Structure 1
Amino acid sequence: MLMMNEKIKAREVELTGLDGEDLGIMPRDEALALAKANKADLVCTSLFSSPPPCKLVSRGMAKQEAAKEKKGQKPASGPIKVKEFRLTVHIEEHDYDTKLSQMQRLLESGKAVQPIIRIQGKEGDAARKLLERLIHDLAGKGTKETGIQVSGKQATVKLLPV
C-alpha cells in the first residue's frame, strides 16, 4: 500500500529530496510544506523503521510508479487447476479419441488432468490397461504425478503438464 502526504502519521520523517539528496530527519509538517512548495508528493517508502524514510516525488508520479510495479508483478502461482475426465472401461474408440484430444489441449495450456475410470465387478485390470494406454498416448504432453490408483469403484491417475 502506498502511504503519501497527510496519510503519513509519524511525527518525524527521514527525508530524501527530488534528486535523491539526503535532507535528514525533520518534522512531518515541515516535510509536507517542503513537498507543497516543490509541487511534489511526500511518499513513505517503508513503514517498518522509525523515523520512516520518505521521499519527495513529482506530483502524480508516485501513483503511476505504484501502478507500474503492481502490473509488473506476476500473479501468485496458486495450485494448478485439475480437470477430471470420467470414462468407463468399455469406451468406444471414437469417444476415447475425443477425450484424448481434450486432455492434450488442457495439458498444452498448462492445466493438469485426472482421468477417472468407473469400475464394476472385476474390471480393475481392464481399467489399469486403459489408463496405461492414456499415459502412453499423452507421453509428449504430460507426465504422471501419481501412480495408477485402483480402488473399489474407480481407477485414476493424475497427469501434470510437461
Structure 2
Amino acid sequence: MRTDLGGPISVEPRVNDQIRAREVRLVGPEGEQVGIVPIERALQLAADVDLDLVEVAPMARPPVCKLMDFGKFKYESALKAREARRNQQQTVIKEMKLRPKIDSHDYETKKGHVVRFLKAGDKVKVTIMFRGREQSRPELGRRLLDRLSQEVADLGFVEAAPKQDGRNMIMVIAPHRSLKVAARGAKPGAEGVEGEVAPAEVAASNGTGE
C-alpha cells in the first residue's frame, strides 16, 4: 500500500493562490482586523497593496490570513532562527573522580578543579570510586559528596543527588544560572555538548588521590 500519495508535508504557510479556503479572516499589514472576507476579495486586497496573502492560522475556522511581504518575512525569520542558534547555551559536563578515603591535600586540589569548572559555567559529575571492602561503606562516599556540595554551594547546586552505580557513587553539580550567563558572555562561541568531557580536563581530573 502506498503511503506517499499526499506527497511531502510542507512546513511553510500557504501563500496567495495556495490558500484553498472559500473565505478567510483577514488581518491587515499593521495587524488591523479586516474581518471575514471571501478568498477572492482577500487576494484582490493583497494585489492592491502589492503584498502577499499568507495563511497564518490554518486550523482556525475560517483560517486566518495576513497581508505581508512574504519574502521579507522569510528572511527575517531565518535571521531570528540563526541568532537563536548562536545564542543557545550548550552545556559541557566535566568529571571529577575521588576515592572515599582521599587525603585532605588531594581533596582540596580536586575541589579546586570543581570550583574552576563551575565558575566556567560547566556541570561537574563527581564520581566516588569504591574498591574492595570500601563497597560495604557507601556512607563514606555520601558523606564526602555532601561535604563537597556544601563547600561549593555558593557556586552550584546538586542537580542529581548521589546515586550508587555499581562500584561507583555519582552526583552531578550544576552551576548557578548567574555563573552560566557570565561564563557564556566571557566565552562567546565556546563549543561543547551535553555529556561531553573535554580531553584536557579529563587528564587533569582522572587522578584518584591515592
TM-score by shorter chain over 0.5: yes
Q: Which has the larger radius of gyration?
A: 1
CA gap of 1:150–1:40, structure 2 versus 1, over 3 A, is closer
Q: Which residue of 2 aligns with 1:25?
A: 36
The one-letter code sitting in structure 1 at the alignment partner of 2:155 is: K
CA distance in 1, matches of 2:160, 2:36: 59
Q: Which residue of 1 aligns with 2:125?
A: 114
CA distance in 2, matches of 1:22, 1:141: 51
The correspondence for 2:112, drawn from 87, 101, 108, is 101
**Higher deviation after alignment, 41-50 or 18-27:** 18-27
Does the aligned pair in 1 maintain the 2:163–2:169 contact within 8 Å? yes
Query: What is the SS of the residue equivalent to 1:158?
Result: strand
Q: Which residue of 1 aligns with 2:19?
A: 8
Could you state the TM-score of these two structures normalised by the residue count of structure 1? 0.67
Q: Calculate percent identity across the aligned residue pairs.
A: 32
The correspondence for 1:54, drawn from 48, 51, 65, is 65
CA gap of 1:152–1:42, structure 2 versus 1, over 3 A, is closer
CA distance in 1, matches of 2:164, 2:73: 58
Query: What is the SS of the residue equivalent to 2:131?
Result: coil
Query: What is the SS of the residue equivalent to 2:61?
Result: coil
CA distance in 2, matches of 1:105, 1:9: 59
Does the aligned pair in 1 maintain the 2:159–2:173 contact within 8 Å? yes
Where structure 1 has 5 or more consecutive residues not aligned to the other structure, the ranges are: none
**1:43 equivalent in alignment to 2:54:** yes
Matched length: 158
Does the aligned pair in 2 maintain the 1:35–1:41 contact within 8 Å? yes
CA distance in 2, matches of 1:152, 1:62: 55
Q: Which residue of 2 aligns with 1:88?
A: 99
**Higher deviation after alignment, 133-142 or 66-75:** 66-75
How large is the RMSD of aligned CA atoms in angstroms? Answer: 3.7
Structure with more relative contact order (C-alpha pairs < 8 Å, separation 6 or more): 2
What per-residue deviation string (whole Å, max 9, x for no partner) do you get for residues 69-110 of structure 1?
6578799x9xx765443333465735852x433322333344
Does the aligned pair in 2 maintain the 1:39–1:59 contact within 8 Å? no
**1:160 equivalent in alignment to 2:171:** no
- Which structure is higher in helix share? 2
**Higher deviation after alignment, 43-52 or 13-22:** 13-22
